[in-house]
Structure 1
């Protein structure tokens, strides 16, 4: 029998999240105002899986992915570029996965809002898998 009930289900738009302002340091911030808000709606017991809503005003920053990220864009426009100069533009309705290890830039062209789900393997889990 599970110790979880229907009241433990997180419902986006109804459940309360942990709202945090995200600050990009001078080593990552490239342009714009970058007022970023991350509303974490769920975190697994081991901290390896999180999901929520991410919002940003226009600006550009360096993105370094330690986690795998699934995201579904709700509003805005973003150009993601890799270190080799390849780039793609994403709009509302686009759903993508950015793999852990990706390094590049995010250029937020229009105020953007996305649903995200992150998976960050724990170091001891990776060691157990070797």
Structure 2
């Protein structure tokens, strides 16, 4: 390997995708989202990049463990019991695989993510 294998997030992503959550998952608003994939491992279990989300609320079911660092905006993550955690620019956290609840974007949000999916 050489220095050219280092992934620089300041450069354009290898792939960018714009999408909406599944219609049955949307609870409020029009939460249009974008993923800018900077890295995906050859096995497909590790991914890293930037995520952007518009205002809205949708159900989440994390099958992967995901480290997040909020760069811009404000969101509220709620568990299945309705207990919430507000996250904003500068916050860093990890959502473990198996987490179910909702994600609400209050102010357009942008985050760095690194996710690992363990496949049986």
Scaled to the shorter chain, the TM-score interval is over 0.9
Q: What is the total number of aligned residue pairs between the two structures? A: 120
**Does residue 73 of the first structure (1) align with residue 70 of the second (2)?**
yes
Measured in 1, the distance between the counterparts of 2:40 and 2:23 equals: 28
Measured in 1, the distance between the counterparts of 2:31 and 2:14 equals: 21
- Contiguous gaps of at least 5 residues in structure 2: none
4+ residue stretches of structure 1 with deviation over 6 A?
Answer: none
What residue in structure 2 maps to residue 41 of structure 1? 38
Q: 1:26 to 1:15 in 2, by over 3 A?
A: closer
Measure how far apart 1:15 and its partner are.
4.6
What residue in structure 2 maps to residue 117 of structure 1? 114
Measured in 2, the distance between the counterparts of 1:6 and 1:16 equals: 18
Measure how far apart 1:109 and its partner are.
0.1
Answer 1 or 2: which has greater strand percent. 2
TM-score by length of 2: 0.96
| CA deviation map 1:10-35 (0-9, x unaligned) | 10012532100122112111111111
More divergent stretch after superposition (37-46 vs 18-27): 18-27
- Contiguous gaps of at least 5 residues in structure 1: 124-130
| 1:92 aligned to which of 86, 89, 93 | 89
